[in-house]
Amino acid sequence: MFISMKWLARHVDLTGITPEQLADDLTLSTCEVEGIERFAPHMSDVVVGHVLEREPHPDADKLGVARVDVGGDEPLQIVCGAPNLAPGQRVAVATIGTVLPGDFKIKKSKIRGVESRGMICSVRELDLGDEHDGIWVLPEVGETPLAVGQPVAAALGMEDWVIEVDNKSLTHRPDLWGHRGIARELAAIYERELKPIDLEMPALGGGAPVSVRVEDPACSRYLGLAIDGAVNGVSPDWLRELLLAVGQRPIDLLVDLSNFVMLDLGQPNHAFDRDQLAVDGIVVRKARAGERMTTLDGEERELVESDLLITSGGDPVALAGVMGGEGSKVGDDTGRLLLECATFDATTVRRTSARLAHRTDSSARFEKTLDPTLPEAAAAHFANLLRGLQPGVSFPCALADAGEWSDPARSIHLRGDVVRRDLGVALHDDAIASILSRLGLTPTAAGGGFDVAIPSARALKDLTMERDLVEEVGRIHRYGSVPEAPLVGAIEPPPFDRRRQMVRAVEDRLAGAARFHQVLSYSFTPDDLLERTGCAAGDFVRAKNPVAPDMARVRREVLPSLLGLVESARRERDVVRLFELGKGYRPEEAGEDGMPREVHQLAMVLALPTTAADAPFDAGAFFQLRAAVDDVISAAGVTAPCWSSADTAHPAAHPVKQVAGAWSEELDGCGFVASLEPGVARALGLEGELASDVAVAVLDMDALLAAPPSPPTYRPLPKFPMVKVDVACVAPSEMPAAELGGMIEKAGKGAVRDLQLFDVFRGEALGEGKKSLAYHVVLQSDTKTLTDKDAQKFLGRLERSLEQQGAALRR
């Protein structure tokens, strides 16, 4: 919202206060000022000129050549086409070098062979209105003609500053949506008087009031003032300039006055041409399905049943609180008016303006919930201003006043101690009372505090409880004067938070030793990505108003978010390691409160260029990722789970190349590690040049939290030397390595300290359906030095147990 300083000065004396000061003070006490700007700054460059003579242009019938005195040594010769240019006039001259609105710089020029040294401006060229059928003949000010050569702004007293206030900071203050409201704040801040203005209704004639019937409670008050004998036309300059300063184009006197009253008091109002109404009466009702009306911007609008209408003779004449109708708008020949000042329901107006995507100055104000006593003041203000300009107007009949409303003015009890406690300042009761009074609130000492009378303008939603008054005192007293205070009380370290600690340990290990990049993703997964990763099945929480139609689904799991990044990342580099700790939502497991179950997951992706056929068995992404997963589980301080071949049924997991981890029958599984499903890999674009060996893993953080902890434990260093034995086992292809490992452990009778698989081999030499696994085995005892004999015994035990399982030891 734009506020004019000159306009404010109609309500409060601002002598000695700079625009910067005012902006700061408003910001610190009332609302956020976003900027200050001079009104029409170019008007300080355009100067008053005196037209000495005008002669026809030798080569162009419609042009004239004027000699204009602008206070220099010589008059300027200016070529001008305006028909109304005449000697003796005072005009606005843009001399060479002046920049006019639209970044239009005046240069010396030749027009049809005649030199022109400047421009005599029209109102439109100065951005002061739409008139452009001639140059602007400056008005007379006082007795003597305007001094030639001085800036027009100074000569006409047009200097003004425009303050832009952030509308959001006024959301809760309908009283600040007009200049008088802001002026009241300034009066309180500067301890100056709020100048009285005449808001008394003028004497009204004895005629019967215009018939007004309110049929819907969304209009709590409808006030209609009939005015006769108005003469519409151009508004006086002071009015035009104030409107221009706040960004409102002057239209004509009646519309300008209506706007002025709204911008002055914050009460939207509407002037109907009473002669254009179908019948001389108003009915306020909801729209009927299919009803249409043309608003005064010329648009035909289709209405719905929740729209509130002002109708006359059955036809809509205004969309309540949003915009008037085309048919009954005031025009040049309007003489009889019906001025509407009403109170409409905030939600109704907001819904209509939102539905039509048409916010107006009026709807913006009604949305804030307006004071139902304000229409009367606004009607009186309009009447008095018009009568001041046109003493001939009359008010033929009593005010029509319909609707059901009550004065919201109330009283709130305020304790001085509560003010002091909540603000943390030692503020005397007198100081509190003074601030309240300056704000137009009336405190009366009562019960060790005050009963504070809240006027209707602030009583609706803004000031409803004691704490609201604490704020009033605080902001005028200024929060800057509140002394900083330390929180006191016993500070105890917060309870140990294992989840937090585990999350950090996992993040640190992955981003550190494991060299993964942490990603944070959107919670929306695009439909297309879900399809490509095969993860589109299942129920999803969906946004009803997504940013894009294909971005409605709130993710069930984290993995697809990461998979969506692999292709571009692989273009960027060979090895891609990504992880994300995040949440997913499962509607099918909703709680009693109807909220979907929230899962906390760690998802990991490792992508490598496709490994060569002869690479070691553990060179591929799957085993590298398994190593990282085991490592991160150990970093989380959790016992290593058992990994077993399983069907995880995850659509992005390779049907065979996958393992699932679990600790025990009772505990939930921890998740899985898998190679990426080959079809998914292709769908993700990982083929050709980008063909990749990709492994994925998902760990459930809640399962990790529930898993048996495994803090580091000390084990005395070995006292006896170790014996290293290499064993090669030939086993049926389908026998899992984990089983072989178990047999080796068992054969060692507790002496196997370390077991490391170093070769996996399949080949003709072994025979059909066989594989060979070779291990380095470290044997060590806590009680004696192991000998070659012990090693041979170990091998013997191993050989027997292998043979029982259809495997063999290669000696």
Partner 1 sequence: MTDTTTILAETRARIADAPDVEALRAIEREVVGKDGVVASLLKSIPGLPAEERKGAGQSANELKQAVLAAIEEREASLGSAALEAERRADGFDGTLPPPRVERGTLHPVTQVTRELEDLFTSMGYMVLDGPEVELDDYNFEKLNIPADHPARDTQDTFYCSSPGSSASLLLRTHTSPVQVRAMERLEPPFRAIVPGKVFRQETTDASHEHTFHQMEGLVIDRNVSVGHLIGAMKTLLRGIFKKEIEVRLRPGYFPFVEPGFELDARCPFCTDGCSVCKRTTWIELLPCGLVHPNVLKAGGLDPEEWGGFAFGLGLSRLVMLRYGIDDVRHLLGGDLRFLDQF
Site for partner 1 in 291-350 (CB under 8 A): 346-347, 350
Min. distance of Cβ 402 from partner 1 in angstroms?
24
Here's the x/- map for partner 1, 163-202, by CB under 8 A: it reads as -----xx-xxx-----------------------------
Q: Which of residues 493-522 bind partner 1 (CB under 8 A)?
A: 493-495, 497, 499-500, 504, 507-508, 510-512, 514-522
Distance between CA atoms of 93 and 100, rounded to whole angstroms? 11
DSSP 8-state code for residue 611: P
Which one of residues 361, 468, 531, 631 is an interface residue with partner 1 (CB under 8 A)?
468
Interaction between residue 254 and partner 1 (CB under 8 A): no
Q: Does 413 bind partner 1 (CB under 8 A)?
A: no
**From CA 726, how far away is CA 141, in angstroms rounded?**
112
DSSP state of 358: -
DSSP string, 63-117: EEEEEEE-SSSSPEEEEE--TT--TT-EEEEE-TT-EETTTEE---EEETTEEE-
The single residue among 289, 485, 613, 717 that binds partner 1, judged by CB under 8 A, is 485
Per CB under 8 A, does 228 bind partner 1?
Answer: no
**Residues between 363 and 382 with contacts to partner 1, criterion CB under 8 A:** 367-369
- Report if residue 216 touches partner 1, rule: CB under 8 A: no
537 belongs to the binding site for partner 1 (CB under 8 A): no
Any contact of residue 587 with partner 1 (CB under 8 A)?
Answer: yes
Q: Considering only CA atoms, which of 736, 777, 771, 735 is closest in space to residue 758?
A: 777
CB of 528 to partner 1, least distance (A): 16
Phi, psi of 253 (to 5 degrees): -55, -45
126-155 residues near partner 1, rule: CB under 8 A:
none
- Smallest distance from partner 1 to CB 598, Å: 6
Beta-carbon neighbour count of residue 12 at 10 Å?
Answer: 23
Q: Is 805 in the site for partner 1 (CB under 8 A)?
A: no
Q: How far apart are CA 811 and CA 798, in angstroms?
A: 12
Any contact of residue 543 with partner 1 (CB under 8 A)? yes
Q: Which is nearer to partner 1, 483 or 716 (CB)?
A: 483
Choose, by CB under 8 A, the member of 208, 595, 667, 738 that binds partner 1. Answer: 595
- Backbone dihedral angles phi then psi of residue 256, each to the nearest 5 degrees: -60, -40
Q: Which is nearer to partner 1, 518 or 785 (CB)?
A: 518
Choose between 447 and 495: whose C-beta lies nearer to partner 1.
495
Nearer to partner 1, 31 or 253 (CB): 31
Residue nearer to partner 1 on the CB measure, 491 or 613: 491
Least separation, in Å, of the C-beta of 547 and partner 1?
5
Residue 447, interface with partner 1 (CB under 8 A)?
no
> Which residue number, 288 or 467, has a Cβ lying nearer to partner 1?
467
* φ, ψ at 201 (rounded to 5°): -65, 130
Residue from 61, 572, 665, 734 touching partner 1 (CB under 8 A): that is 572
Give the burial string for 252-282 (b: 16+ CB within 10 Å, else e).
Answer: ebbbbbbbbbbbbbbbbbbbbbbebbeeebb
Part in contact with partner 1 (CB under 8 A); list of ranges 74-82, 92-100, 111-119, 546-554: 546-554
Residues with Cβ within 8 Å of 500's Cβ and at least 6 positions away in sequence, in order, are none
Distance between CA atoms of residues 164 and 159, nearest Å? 17
Token digits of residue 237? 């300059």
554, 558, 602, 629: residue in contact with partner 1 (rule CB under 8 A): 554
Which residue, among 498, 513, 557, has the nearest Cα to 698 in the 3D structure?
Answer: 557
Least CB distance to partner 1 at residue 248 (A): 23
Tracing tokens 């059901």 back to the chain, one arrives at: 404
Query: Could you give the CA distance from residue 342 to residue 308 in angstroms, rounded to a whole number?
Result: 12
Number of shown-chain residues binding partner 1 (CB under 8 A) = 95
Q: Under the criterion CB under 8 A, does residue 650 sit at the interface with partner 1?
A: no
Q: Which of residues 414-443 bind partner 1 (CB under 8 A)?
A: 421-425
Report the interhelical angle of 416-423 vs 429-438 (nearest 10°): 90
What distance in Å separates the CA atoms of residue 512 and residue 454, rounded to the nearest whole number? 62
* Range in contact with partner 1 (rule: CB under 8 A) among 74-82, 336-344, 469-477, 701-709: 469-477
Number of residues written out for the chain: 811
Region near partner 1 per CB under 8 A, out of 43-51, 594-602, 702-710, 736-744: 594-602
Of 264 and 462, nearer to partner 1 (C-beta) is 462
Asked if 410 is part of the footprint of partner 1 (rule: CB under 8 A), the reply reads no
Please state the separation of Cα 245 from the chain's center in Å: 28
DSSP 8-class letter at 249 = -
Contact yes or no for 622/695 (Cβ under 8 A) = yes
Residue 237 or 367: the one with the smaller Cβ distance to partner 1 is 367
Minimum distance from CB of 90 to partner 1 (Å)? Answer: 39
Nearest distance from residue 581's CB to partner 1, in Å?
9
CB 585, min distance to partner 1, A: 5
Q: Which residues of 560-584 are buried (b: 16+ CB within 10 A; e: fewer)?
A: bbbbbbbbebbeeeeebbbbbbbeb
Return the number of other C-beta atoms located less than 10 Å from residue 166's C-beta.
14
By CB under 8 A, residue 576 contacts partner 1: yes
Q: Which amino acid is at 613?
A: A
Subset of residues 11 to 30 that bind partner 1, contact rule: CB under 8 A: 27-30
Whole-angstrom distance, CA of residue 739 vs CA of residue 733: 12
Shortest Å distance, C-beta 264 to partner 1: 22
The residue type at 571: R
Nearer to partner 1, 6 or 577 (CB): 577
Q: What is the DSSP string of 370-403?
A: --TTHHHHHHHHHHHHHHHH-TT-B--BPPEEES
Q: Which stretch binds partner 1 (CB under 8 A): 43-51, 312-320, 386-394, 539-547?
A: 539-547
Single out the residue of 103, 143, 332, 492 in contact with partner 1 (rule: CB under 8 A): 492
- Of 87, 546, 709, 742, the one binding partner 1 by CB under 8 A: 546
Footprint (CB under 8 A) of partner 1, residues 615-634: none
Q: Does 357 bind partner 1 (CB under 8 A)?
A: no
**How many other CB atoms sit within 10 Å of the CB of residue 716?**
6
Rounded to a whole number of angstroms, the minimum distance from the CB of residue 545 to partner 1 is 6
Nearer to partner 1 by Cβ, of 169 and 434: the residue is: 169
Stretch that binds partner 1, among 113-121, 189-197, 580-588, 641-649 (CB under 8 A): 580-588
549 binds partner 1 (CB under 8 A): no
C-alpha closest to that of 560 among 589, 582, 590: 582
Residue with tokens 């254009």: 276
- Within positions 30 to 59, which residues make up the interface with partner 1, using CB under 8 A? 30-32
